[in-house]
Amino acid sequence: MQSVANGVLNANERLLIDQAIAEHGGRPGALLGILEAVQSANAHKFLSMESLRYIADETGVPPARIYSAATFYALFNLDPQGDNVICVCRGTACHTRGSRDLLEKVCLDLGLSGHDQGDTNDADKLVLTTPDQRFTIRTVACFGQCALAPVVEVNHHILSRVNERTLQREVKALTQGRK
């Protein structure tokens, strides 16, 4: 009997998942390695529900366990990410040194200010993507770089002691394709 996921995923996606399972399967932490490989290969750096179902079918791991892992770790995304990801730390040190203002300013600059940013106390939950899929703005609870606060990560590059001007310059460079 063919899985629902088999009907939705294309042959290349199934092959990629099969390769990830073959490479990581049977080792401790195999599920995390599989999820990471599948997400990394996705053009929009996310795990679709179809891919999660297919992984469950092929590994025999219950779908609830796979979904639990994918939602527990901040590394994994269940929604498409923008071409550029800006991650603002909302830990205590960063917060006291202005990360909230940085977050509000970058959202305003990218036209995301009208979107519901939710309760800012639930800082590690914010994920907003521009309609053109060029930028995703995320927050994390803490990068562990407190002495360098406020910290912002731009496309996996950590920036320290960030101010509004620095962040605007980074966004402008990305917008103009210089990075």
Q: Check whether residue 61 and residue 92 sit in a common domain.
A: no
What pTM was estimated for this model as a whole?
Answer: 0.73
**Mean per-residue pLDDT over the chain, rounded:** 87
Closest by Cα among 158, 116, 154 to 136: 154
Q: Residues 97, 102, 103, 106: what is their CA dihedral angle, to the nearest 10 degrees?
A: -170
Q: Which tens digits make up the pLDDT trace of 164-177?
A: 999 999 999 998 87
Measure Cα distances from 15 to 11, 78, 108 in Å: 6, 20, 41
* CATH code of 130's domain: 3.40.30.10
Residue 6 has pLDDT above 80, yes or no: no
Residue 110 has pLDDT above 90, yes or no: yes
Among 4-13, 54-63, 123-132, the range of highest mean pLDDT:
54-63
| Distance in Å from the first CA to the final CA of the chain | 47
Per-residue pLDDT at 178: 65
Domain final position from 50, 72, 94:
72
Average pLDDT over residues 76-91: 92
Q: Beta 152-154 vs 84-89: how paired, if at all?
A: antiparallel
Query: Which amino acid is it at 146?
Result: C
Greater model confidence, 5 or 24:
24
Greater model confidence, 115 or 50:
50
Number of domains, the chain: 2
Domain final position from 49, 72, 95:
72
